Amino acid sequence: MCALLARVDAVLVQAVIAAALSFAHLHDIALAAGQDGWKAWAYPVSVDLLLVAAWRRLRTGHAKASGWCWFVIALAASLGANVATAGLLDLEQVPAWLRILVAGWPAVAFLGGTLLAHSTPEAAEDVENAAVDADQMEQEEGAEPSPEQPALPVADPAPLPPVAPTLPAVTVPAALVEHARKVAAEHHTRTGTDIDTPTLRARLGVPAPMAEAIAARI
């Protein structure tokens, strides 16, 4: 237990030191680029917040391409400030391109934070899961039935009335029903009439029994 606490404490101390140094370097770059006063302190906060937002998106497992894109941008801004303040850049005469990058950073950070915070990957995942469930149901319906045992002969066979085949109950995922309601509402808004079962089946791409079950529920 003590060894674990010591290891955690060492990691926390290392993280605090790295964050403080990176914060100071970003402040120095912003100050050298003409952003004085409180503005110079706001730049490192903006970079760190974008870095944390991108990392949280990567941890959730949704829209990883967008998360990696903004994570690399924020990391490049942080590492660039660390390298620039190591003597490779004259802070007394900052080049014009660096002043342009520093002045344009707030708009870039706002765009990245908005895209990371307000995207809705859950809705896309629900629709994808509903489509997968529909495909599985169609495969199960298309499977061949197991062969039946032959009936034993009787002494005086009598003709039996035809029996209608019993169809298996169709289970409709809740997410697919919700998606179908949106499709029906959009059809009613566009045409002024309720959507029929063939049109609903074509829009959803599901078999006929499932389309009828969905139409009964919406």
Classify burial at 13, counting beta carbons within 10 Å of its beta carbon; exposed 0-12, middle 13-18, buried 19 or more.
exposed
- Residue 82 to residue 80: CA distance in whole angstroms: 5
2-28: pLDDT as tens digits: 555 555 677 778 778 877 878 888 888
Confidence of residue 124 (pLDDT cuts 50, 70, 90): very low
Cα-based distances in Å from 100 to 67, 96, 107? 25, 6, 12
Nearest to 60 by CA among 111, 122, 149, 105: 122
What mean pLDDT do residues 128-140 have? 61
Q: What is the pLDDT of residue 204?
A: 78
Q: What is the pLDDT of residue 135?
A: 63
Residue 76's CB is within 10 A of a number of other CB atoms, namely 11
Q: What is the pLDDT of residue 167?
A: 47
Q: What angle do CA 51, 112, 33 make, to 5 degrees?
A: 75
Q: What is the pLDDT of residue 7?
A: 57
- Residue 210 to residue 218: CA distance in whole angstroms: 12
User: What is the pTM (predicted TM-score) of this model?
Assistant: 0.46
- Residue 179 to residue 172: CA distance in whole angstroms: 11
33-85: pLDDT as tens digits: 888 888 888 888 888 888 888 888 888 876 678 888 888 988 888 888 888 88
164-207: pLDDT as tens digits: 455 456 677 777 778 888 888 888 888 888 888 888 788 877 78
Nearest to 140 by CA among 164, 176, 168: 168
What mean pLDDT do residues 115-128 have? 59
Average pLDDT, the chain: 75
Please identify which residue in the block is written with the tokens 């802070």.
91
Residue 147 reports pLDDT greater than 70: no
